[in-house]
Amino acid sequence: MNIAQLNKLRWILIGLLLATANFIQAQNATEIVKKADSHMQGKSSQGIMIMTIVRPKWRRTVEMKSWSKGKGFSLILIKKPVRDKGSGYLKRGKEMWNWLPKVGRVVKMPPSMMNQSWMGSDFTNDDLVRQSSIVVDYTHKILGSETLEGRDCYKVLLTPKPNAPVVWGKVEMWISKKDYLQLQSKMYDEDGYLVNTMRGSKIKNLGGRVLPSYMEMIPADKPNQKTVLEYKQMVFNKPISDGFFSVQNMKRVN
């Protein structure tokens, strides 16, 4: 083999090594996001949450119950305030409905509403019912390591897959290395501008799992404005039938 052939072989081997390294890195990043998502969701979950919308001149508190199963099913029932009591939000597969007991109507929500504010908060409809999946709808890449809440974290870049039903142009996520806690997410629009930052804190045992119990959603362009979601109670992996997540049950669950 002459020198030219040796050089050609060397570059081929370097290319193969880089391709293999990138593939392994991508696989590792996806596995990290998958473990973090599974730790937060479980096979199923039930919970009680308090949402506080903070604005410069007012604040509003909403108490709710939630049920979820896998990626396909989610149900949220509003308990307080009285004016919203009984309202429900249901997700089955890629479809979503809103039950409005005051007017006795069920409204099917189009995909275009997924990026709209949920009940006037800084969370979107998609944030609450998780129509999109941080595991399935994005590709993943480890950007580095940083410390948050005293925990060493992976910083992971999530980039939407083509035609994925997602709201954001990209997401940066900080996930603790030891216990796969989602401690911070920065959501950017399609032009690369930061829109929201979500921070998790007050880590404690919820339903047998160590989790952030206090989530703040902070808009980048609205000073003194945020929405806080506090998890008061959680139960994981308690069996729930698929039939529980029906339009009819959304009207009568309590």
Tokens, residue 181: 């806690």
pLDDT in tens, 198-208: 999 999 999 99
Least confident segment among 33-37, 129-133, 173-177: 129-133
| Residue 51 confidence (pLDDT) | 96
* Proportion of the chain above pLDDT 90, given as a percent: 69
Q: How far apart are the first and last CA of the chain?
A: 77
Q: Which residues pair with 224 in a beta bridge?
A: none
At 29 the three-state DSSP class reads: helix
Query: 126: part of which helix (H) or strand (E)?
Result: helix 125-129
For the cut 50, the answer to whether the pLDDT of residue 172 exceeds it is yes
Cβ atoms of 204 and 213 closer than 8 Å: yes
User: So what CATH class is 25-251?
Assistant: mainly beta
Q: Residues near 210 by Cβ (< 8 Å), separated by ≥ 6?
A: 179, 181, 203, 204
Choose between 1 and 179: higher pLDDT: 179
**pLDDT tier at 70, thresholds 50, 70, 90:** confident
Q: State the chain's mean pLDDT as an integer.
A: 88
Choose between 1 and 191: higher pLDDT: 191
Query: 99: part of which helix (H) or strand (E)?
Result: strand 95-100
**pLDDT tier at 24, thresholds 50, 70, 90:** very low
Cβ atoms of 180 and 166 closer than 8 Å: no
Tokens, residue 182: 């989602």
Q: Where are the domains of the chain?
A: 25-251
For the cut 50, the answer to whether the pLDDT of residue 239 exceeds it is yes
**pLDDT tier at 10, thresholds 50, 70, 90:** low
CA angle (164, 244, 35) in 5-degree steps:
45
Query: pTM surpassing 0.75?
Result: yes
Provide mean pLDDT across the span 135-163.
Answer: 94
Shortest CA distance to 190 belongs to which of 165, 169, 220? 169
Provide mean pLDDT across the span 62-91.
Answer: 93
For the cut 90, the answer to whether the pLDDT of residue 163 exceeds it is no
CA 35 to CA 250: how far, in whole Å? Answer: 30
**pLDDT tier at 111, thresholds 50, 70, 90:** confident
